[in-house]
Structure 1
Amino acid sequence: MAKGETARDHDDGGAVPASVWRTAFLLAFGSLMAGLDTSLVNVGLDTIGTRLDAPLSTAQWVNSGYLLALAAALPACGWLSKRIGAGRLWLWALAGFTVASGLCAVAPDIIWLVVGRVVQGVAGGLLVPAGMTILGQVAGKGRMGRVIAISSVPSILAPAFGPVLGAVLIANLSWHWLFLINLPIGLLGLLLALRHLPRGERDEAGRLDLVALGLVVIGLPLTVYALTEISGSSSGPRAWIPLVIGLVALGAFGWRSLRGEEPLMDLRLVANRRFAAASAEVFFAGASLFGGLVVMPLYFQLQLGADIVDVGLLLMAFSIGAAATFPAAGWLNDRFGGGVVAVAGLVLTVATTAAMALLPDRPDLVLVEVLQVLRGIGMALAGSPGVSSALASVDRRQLPDASAQVNILSRVGGALGSALFVVILSDGATDPAAFRETFWWLTGASLVALAAAVWLTHEQHIVGHPTTSSVPLVLPASEHLEGKAT
C-alpha cells in the first residue's frame, strides 16, 4: 500500500453505508445553494439595476463579480483543505455564503451588492471542491461513482427550476428574496453539518506559495472573464487583452508549480494517465454541456419564437433527463468503470446533438424536447463518471488537489465552449443555417470528449477497474435502502 493511502483507498465497492449517504445529503445543501443562486440572480439583473438605479452594464457585475471571485478561489481550495481539513473548510464556506447572501439582500446600492456577490463567489468557489474532497474521503474508490452522481442531482436541477422560481419571487415579492431564500437553506445546512459532517483529515500542506497564488488569482479570473466577454460577442481589446494576460499568468503559474518543491496545486497529477484522460474528458464534456446550455435558450427564443417564460419551461427537459439518469450513471460507473459509461453517454450526446443540426427550420417542438431529454441523459452518463474516475485515480492525500483541478477544468472548459459557440452563432443568430453550424461545432466538441472517454476506458482497462466484480447487481433504489440498513 502506497504511502498516504488507507484501506478505504482500495475499497472494493459494495453497499454504500448510511453514514456516507448522510454526508452526501448534507453536502447537497452547498451544491443546491451555489447552483440555485446563479440562475436566480440572472433572471433578476434587469430588475436589480432598475431598483438600485444602475445601468445594466453596471448591474451585470452582480453576476460577473461572483463568477470571477469563484474562479479565483478555486486554486486555493486544495491547500486550504489540507491545512484545516475539507470538512472545516466546507463549513466555513457555507457560513460565508449564507452571511454574504444576507448582506446582498440588504444592499442599499449596487456597489454594496457587487461586493457581497464577490464574497459569495469566494465562498462558492470553495464549497463544491471541498465537498467533492469529503465525498472522496468517506466513500472510497469503489463507491465514489454512486455517491458523487446522486449528490450531483440538486446542482443539475437547480439551474432548470431557478429561472422559474426567480421570476415568481420577483413578481410576487421583491428582488431581495433572490438572496433571502439562501438564508433558511444555509442555516439548516449548517445546523445539520455541525452535528453530523466529518471534519476531514488534515495533511501536510507545506508553505503557501504566494507568488503562485498571485499568478493564478490573476490568470484564472482574467481568462474566464475574457471568454465570457467573447461569448457576449465582444471581440475587441476588452476581451483579448485580459485573455492574453490571463494565459501568460496561467503559463507562469504552471511553470512554477511544476518546478517548485511545495506547489500550490500538484500539477504533476497529469503524469497519472488515468487522471489525465479523465481530466480531458471533463474539460471537453464541460465545453459541450455549458455550450449547449448557452445555445439552447437562444435557439428557443430566436429560432422558435418562444417567450422568456416558455424558454424556462422548455429548458427543463434537459435537466430532468440528466437528473433522472445521475443515480444510474453512478451505479454503472462503480459496476463497469467510468470510461465505459462516459463512452456510452457521449455516443448518445453526439447522436442527439447531430440530430439537432439536421432538424428543419421549423421543427416539431415535441421532437426537440425529446432530443433534449436524451441529450440530458447522455451528458449525465458522461459527466459524473468522468469526475469520479479522476478522483478514483489518485490516493487520499491527493484528493484536495484533484478535486480543485477537476472543478477548474470543468469551469474553464465550459467558459471556452460557451464563448466559441456564441461567437460562431453571433454572425447570424436569426438564420437557421447559423444554428445548424453551431450544432455541428457542438457535435465536434462532444466527439473530442468521446475520444478522451475512449482513452480513459483504455487506461482503466490496463489497470483493471477495481469494482467490476464486486458491486451487487441491484437497482440503485434498492441499493440505497440496503445502505440505510447497514
Structure 2
Amino acid sequence: MRSIGLSLALGGLMVVIDTTVTTVAVPAIVSGLDASLPAAQWATAGYLLGLVAVIPLAGRLSARYGARRVYLTALLGFTLFSALAGLAWDVTSLAVFRVLQGLGGGLLNPVGQAIGLRAAPREARGRLMSLLVLPLVIGPVLGPLLAGRLIDTASWRWIFLLNIPVGLAAVLICARVLPHDILPSRSRSGGRRTLVGRLAGLSRRPGDSPESRPDWGGLVLLSGGAVTVVLGATLVERPASAGLGLILAGLAMLGGFGWRARRVAEPIVDLRLLRYRPVRAGVGVLILFAAAYFGSMAVLPLFVQGVRGDPASVVGVIGIPQAIVVGLVAQVATRLVDRFPARRIVLAGTALGTLGGAALLVAVGTDAGYPWIMAATMVLSAGSGATLMPTMTVALRDLDHAETPRGTTLLALVVQLSNALAGAVTAVTLSVLVARAMPGSGGGVPAMLALDDAAREALRPGLAAAVAAAYLLPVALLAGSWLIAYRSLRPAR
C-alpha cells in the first residue's frame, strides 16, 4: 500500500507543482512575453480550466478503460504538453498549451485517489491519504521554491521543461507498481469498439442503454460555464467591457449544469452525493478554503518582486519553513482523522488558516519584513495541512466502492474550480490596486515591475498597502470556511 501511495504521490506532485509554479513566474511572463497581468494569469487559469474540463470524465473513463490505463495515459499526455508549454512563443500559445496540459493533469488526482482508496481497507484509508496529501500541501511550497531558482538562473520556460524527465520517470514507476484493473468482460456478439467510438458513445454493444453514454450536454455546460466565468472575471476591470455579462452568462450555464445533473440518469458529476452530510459539508469547506489558500498565492510573489524588488528565488526561500510545517501538520492531522472527531481537526485548521491570512495581510501591508511574513505563512500553511486533506478524507471515507470515484471527482472539481476563479479574481484585484497606487495613468503591474530602485523605494509604502489589500477577500473566505465547519461538521443526531 505504501508503494502505491508514494507512486501516486509522484504523479500528483507534478500536477500540483504546475498549478503553483506560474504564480512565481507570472511577473517574468509579463515581462518576457510583453503581456498584462490578467493575460499572463491565463497561464494558470487555462491550466486549471483544463483540469476542470476533464475531471468529470475521470470516474467514467476509469470504469470503462480501467483506472491504471487512464492514469498512465494521462501522465504521458501531461508530460508531452508540458514540453510544448515550455516552447510557447506568446501568451496565447502558452495559454492553449496549458489548457491541453491540464486535460492530462486533471485525471491524475481523482483517478489516483480512486486507485489508492480501492487498494486500502477502510481502517487504513487515513494512512493512505496521508501519503496522497503530500502533493496537495507540499506542491504549493516546493513549486515556488523551484520556480524561483529556475527563473533567476535560467528562464521561466524551464518550469515546464523540467516535467519531461520527471514525467517519464513517473510513468515507468507507476507502470510497475499500480495494480491492474479487473474490467467487465465483453460479450462475443459485441466485438471490440474503437477508442473513438467508445468515447463518443456512438458504438454500443447489444443491451447497452442510451443512459450509458457520457453526459456531453452536462460537460459542455460545466466546462463552458467555468471558462466563461473566469474569462469574465479577467475582463471585468475594463471600462464598458462585457466582463459582467460573461460572468452572468457563465453562472447561468453552471446553474443549468446543476439542474441537469440532478435529473439525468448518469450525470457527468454526481451532485446527488451532496445528500450525504459529510460530503456536503466537505464541499462547502473546500470551496472557500481552497479559493482563499490557492487564490492568494499570486500576491506574495508580486510583493517580493514588484514592491521589494528582490529576485524570484526569495519567494522560494520564504516557502522553506512552509514546506516543513505543512508536511508535518498534514501527516499528523490526516492520520488523526482515523482516531478523533474530524470536526475538531478541521475547525483547528480553518481557524489557523484565518489567523495566518490576517497576519499575512498585516505583515505585507506594513512591510514588516520577511521574518514576520514567513511566520504568517507558516501559520496559514499549518491551517492548510489540518484542513484540506482531512476534509477530503472525512467526505470520502464512508462512500462505497462504486461511489468513491464519483466522490473524488466531485471534490477535485470543487477545488480546481475554486482555484481557477480565485486566481482570476486575485489577478484583476492586484492589477486594479497596483494601478491606483502608481503615479499617472499609465501604471499597473508591468510598470511596477519596470521601476528602478529609486522610484520603487519612493513608492514602496503605497505599493505595499495596495498589494496587501488583495488579501482581504481570502481572509473573509477563510473565516467562512471555519463557520461552515463549525455549523455543518457536527456529529449526526
Using structure 1 for the length normalisation, give the TM-score.
Answer: 0.79
CA apart distance, 1:328: 0.7
Provide the residue aligned with 1:264 in structure 2. 268
Distance 2:353 2:167 in 1: 35
Q: Secondary structure at the match of 1:142?
A: helix
Q: Does 1:223 align with 2:229?
A: yes
Q: Does 1:132 align with 2:113?
A: yes
Residues 163/364 of structure 1: CA separation in 2 closer, same or farther (3 Å cut): closer
Provide the residue aligned with 2:6 in structure 1. 25
Q: Secondary structure at the match of 1:334?
A: coil
Q: Cα deviation per residue 1:333-372 (whole Å; 9 max; x = unaligned)?
A: 2211432211111122223333445558242532332222
Question: CA contact under 8 A between 2:148 and 2:316: conserved in structure 1?
Answer: no
Residues 22/418 of structure 1: CA separation in 2 closer, same or farther (3 Å cut): same
Provide the residue aligned with 1:279 in structure 2. 283
Residues 396/301 of structure 1: CA separation in 2 closer, same or farther (3 Å cut): same
Q: Cα deviation per residue 1:413-446 (whole Å; 9 max; x = unaligned)?
A: 2344445566666446636665676545433322
Residues 375/159 of structure 1: CA separation in 2 closer, same or farther (3 Å cut): closer
More deviation, 265-274/156-165: 156-165
More deviation, 22-31/300-309: 300-309
Counterpart of 2:403 (choices 379, 398, 404) is 398
Q: Does 1:462 align with 2:487?
A: no
Distance 1:271 1:255 in 2: 15
Provide the residue aligned with 1:295 in structure 2. 299
Question: CA contact under 8 A between 1:73 and 1:125: conserved in structure 2?
Answer: yes
Q: Does 1:80 align with 2:80?
A: no
Question: CA contact under 8 A between 1:424 and 1:434: conserved in structure 2?
Answer: no
Q: Cα deviation per residue 1:42-91 (whole Å; 9 max; x = unaligned)?
A: 5556777888xx64367765544333322211222222222223222111
Distance 1:253 1:86 in 2: 26
Distance 2:466 2:40 in 1: 30
CA apart distance, 1:22: 0.9
Using structure 2 for the length normalisation, give the TM-score.
Answer: 0.78
CA apart distance, 1:234: 5.2
CA apart distance, 1:407: 1.3
Provide the residue aligned with 1:162 in structure 2. 143
The one-letter code sitting in structure 2 at the alignment partner of 1:160 is V
CA apart distance, 1:297: 3.3
- Extract unaligned runs of 5+ from structure 2: 185-207, 438-461
Distance 2:250 2:55 in 1: 15
Question: CA contact under 8 A between 1:348 and 1:378: conserved in structure 2?
Answer: yes
Provide the residue aligned with 2:368 in structure 1. 363
Distance 1:95 1:284 in 2: 32
Counterpart of 2:415 (choices 397, 410, 415) is 410
Q: Cα deviation per residue 1:97-130 (whole Å; 9 max; x = unaligned)?
A: 1232344456678776555433211001111111
Q: Cα deviation per residue 1:202-252 (whole Å; 9 max; x = unaligned)?
A: 58992212222222221122223434556xx55763532332222111111
Distance 2:27 2:315 in 1: 17
Provide the residue aligned with 2:448 in structure 1. none
The one-letter code sitting in structure 2 at the alignment partner of 1:197 is L
Residues 237/82 of structure 1: CA separation in 2 closer, same or farther (3 Å cut): farther
CA apart distance, 1:305: 5.9
Distance 1:290 1:104 in 2: 22
- Extract unaligned runs of 5+ from structure 1: 1-19, 464-486
Q: Secondary structure at the match of 1:152?
A: helix
Q: Does 1:250 align with 2:254?
A: yes
Aligned residue pairs total 438
Question: CA contact under 8 A between 2:281 and 2:488: conserved in structure 1?
Answer: yes
Counterpart of 2:216 (choices 197, 210, 218) is 210
Q: Cα RMSD (Å) of the superposition?
A: 3.3
Question: CA contact under 8 A between 1:134 and 1:200: conserved in structure 2?
Answer: no
Residues 278/216 of structure 1: CA separation in 2 closer, same or farther (3 Å cut): same
The one-letter code sitting in structure 2 at the alignment partner of 1:216 is L
Residues 236/422 of structure 1: CA separation in 2 closer, same or farther (3 Å cut): farther
Report the identity percentage. 30
